[in-house]
Amino acid sequence: MNTAVKKQVQKEDAMWLQKELINRNYHELATAREHNRKVSATFVPGNLNELLMCFDFARSLPETNALQNGMRKKSGKMIMDAERDGHSEDVCTYVKADLGMMLQGQVGPTGDPLPHPDILLLSYTGCFTFMKWFELVRQKYNCETVMLHVPYQGDGKVSPAMRDYVVKQLKEKVIPSLEKVSGVKFDIDRLRQYMRESVKAEENLVRVLQSAKQRPSPIDGYFGAVYYIGPMFTAFRGMPEATRYYDTLWAEVEQRMREKKGPVTPEGEIAEEKYRLVVEGPPNWTSFRDFWKMFADEGAVVVASTYAKVGGVYDFGFRHDPERPLESLAEYCLGCYTNLNFPQRIDMICRYMDEYQADGLLINSIKSCNSFSAGQLLILREVEKRTGKPAAFIETDLVDPRYFSAANVKNRLESYFQMIKQKRTAGAH
Class of domain 11-186: alpha beta
Q: What is the full DSSP assignment across 251-286?
A: HHHHHHHHTT---EETTEE-----EEEEEESPPPST
Q: Where are the domains of the chain?
A: 11-186, 261-428
Helix (H, G, I), strand (E, B) or coil at 303: strand
CA distance 123 to 149: 6
CA distance 13 to 97: 30
pTM, full prediction:
0.94
Query: Tens-digit pLDDT profile for the chain (429 aa)?
Result: 444 445 555 566 788 888 899 999 999 999 999 999 999 999 998 899 999 999 999 999 999 999 999 999 999 999 999 999 998 888 889 999 999 998 888 888 999 999 999 999 998 777 878 888 898 889 889 999 999 999 999 999 999 999 999 999 999 999 999 999 999 999 999 999 999 999 999 999 999 999 999 999 999 999 999 999 999 999 999 999 999 999 999 999 999 999 999 999 988 999 999 999 999 999 999 999 999 999 999 999 999 999 999 989 999 999 999 999 999 999 999 999 989 999 999 999 999 999 999 999 999 998 888 777 888 999 999 999 999 999 999 999 999 999 899 999 999 999 999 999 998 888 766
Amino acid in the structure at residue 267 = E
Class of domain 261-428: alpha beta
Amino acid in the structure at residue 169 = Q
Amino acid in the structure at residue 123 = S
Asked if residue 362 lies in contact with residue 394, where contact means CB atoms within 8 angstroms, the answer is: yes
11-186 and 261-428 share one CATH topology?
yes
Looking at the DSSP bridge assignments, the partners of residue 144 are 119
